[in-house]
Amino acid sequence: MDRNEPRKSWVHPSWDLPDCATTPEAYYLRRREFLRVFGLGLAASALLPPGIRAESPGLNDSLHPSYKLDGVKLTPEDLITSYNNFYEWGLAKDQPKELANHGWKTRPWSVEIGGLCVNPRKLDVDELIQLLGPIEHRNYRHRCVEAWSMVMPWDGFALAKLVELAQPTPDAKYVKFTSFLDPANCSGQRSNEFSWPYTEGLTMEEAHNELALIAVGLYGKPLRNQNGAPLRLVVPWKYGFKSAKSLAKIDFVTEQPRTLWNQLAPNEYGFYANVNPNVDHPRWSQKSERVIGASFFAGKQPTLMFNGYEKQVAHLYAGMDLRKNF
């Protein structure tokens, strides 16, 4: 959606938590600078489409008081970029920031779109951004299955646009996401016990949902390596592990894809992995969550059904037993 366009009065995009509710003062300024930062900070910037640049001055126009959400604050950038789950770079939260920035190159980067589609192709990530732009800005809740949460300001484009570009054939029922595989440069892929590469999946219907995002930036800057540069999936109504980082391949398939966590512990990490306060993880409750960066007293809050995105996604699971299909 183009933020320079007037809002349609009857529907406010669910993903668009208003900046007024979520944004520390400084971030307003940074957002306005989005393109300048995006543009100057990166060798690849020359390839960014003019549409991205044109969009940035109008960002504050998107604020609308009637969409104010109480009690939602954007997680500070330094926390979002230093408290990470990215097991390719170690199992501790502070390791990815350190280890993913020791010579691991995330540009140039090629992405392969394949499987059951009319337009399979392999292309550079910046070509893809150019094809799918303009970049949208969305503030999303993020809920890890480990019962902590953040609110993150993403920059990216609807996954549906990429699906459109690929034109899946009618027998495509799922989208499979495959992260990078580079054991020569990635210590974790040499030493730890997972079956790399990291894989995830969505149903075709989920992939078409307006909330499903391919993120290429955070806080108005290109994604940091530790957050899944140069592009990653973001599906905010699902536990964080569904949002695969540093994508190398996106395939349209008939069978439900086997995914890394689901294969490893199927009784703990389901394929759907929708955020649900009523379905506990076998080893801990999902009723509440710890807000990263909040004070000790304000730091716990109730988990929301579908992470607060019930209106936008509940219909996808109508009639489904969410305990069975967890």
Q: State yes or no: residue 84 binds ligand MTE (CB under 6 A).
A: yes
- With CB under 6 A as the contact rule, which of the stretches 55-63, 64-72, 125-133, 243-251 interacts with ligand MTE? 243-251
# chain residues binding ligand MTE, by CB under 6 A = 17
Q: How far is the CB of 242 from Mo ion (least distance, A)?
A: 9
**Looking at 144, 158, 202, 216, which residue binds Mo ion (CB under 5 A)?**
144
Q: How far is the CB of 54 from ligand MTE (least distance, A)?
A: 28
- CB-based closest residue to ligand MTE: 240
- Of residues 194 through 223, those in contact with ligand MTE by CB under 6 A are 198
CA distance 36 to 34: 6
CB under 5 to 8 A by kind: which of Mo ion, ligand MTE, none does 35 bind?
none
- Of 23 and 85, which has the nearer Cβ to ligand MTE? 85
- Name the token pair of 304: 């929301």
Q: State yes or no: residue 87 binds ligand MTE (CB under 6 A).
A: yes
Number of C-beta neighbours around residue 90 at 10 A:
20
Phi, psi of 109 (to 5 degrees): -150, 125
CB under 5 to 8 A by kind: which of ligand MTE, Mo ion, none does 87 bind?
ligand MTE
User: Pick from 156, 135, 163: which is nearest to 233 by CA?
Assistant: 156
Q: How far is the CB of 251 from ligand MTE (least distance, A)?
A: 16
Q: How far is the CB of 233 from ligand MTE (least distance, A)?
A: 8
SS3 268: coil
Q: State yes or no: residue 144 binds ligand MTE (CB under 6 A).
A: yes
Q: State yes or no: residue 174 binds ligand MTE (CB under 6 A).
A: no
Tell which phi-psi region holds residue 73, choosing left (phi > 0), alpha (psi between -120 and 50) or beta.
Answer: beta
CB under 5 to 8 A by kind: which of Mo ion, ligand MTE, none does 214 bind?
none
**Looking at 219, 237, 241, 309, which residue binds ligand MTE (CB under 6 A)?**
241
# chain residues binding Mo ion, by CB under 5 A = 4
* Residues shown for the chain: 326
CB under 5 to 8 A by kind: which of Mo ion, ligand MTE, none does 179 bind?
ligand MTE
SS3 176: strand
Q: State yes or no: residue 240 binds Mo ion (CB under 5 A).
A: yes
**Looking at 14, 23, 84, 85, which residue binds Mo ion (CB under 5 A)?**
85
- CA distances (Å), origin 16, targets 100, 180, 292, 320: 30, 29, 20, 27
Q: State yes or no: residue 88 binds ligand MTE (CB under 6 A).
A: yes
CA distance 306 to 158: 19
What would the DSSP string read from start to end of 83-150? S---GGG-SSTTHHHHHTTSS---SS-EEEEEESBS--EEEEHHHHHHHH-S-EEEEEEEEETTTEEE
Question: Is the Cβ–Cβ distance between 87 and 198 less than 8 Å?
Answer: yes
SS3 188: helix
Residue ranges in contact with ligand MTE by CB under 6 A: 84-88, 142, 144, 179, 198, 227-228, 240-241, 243-246
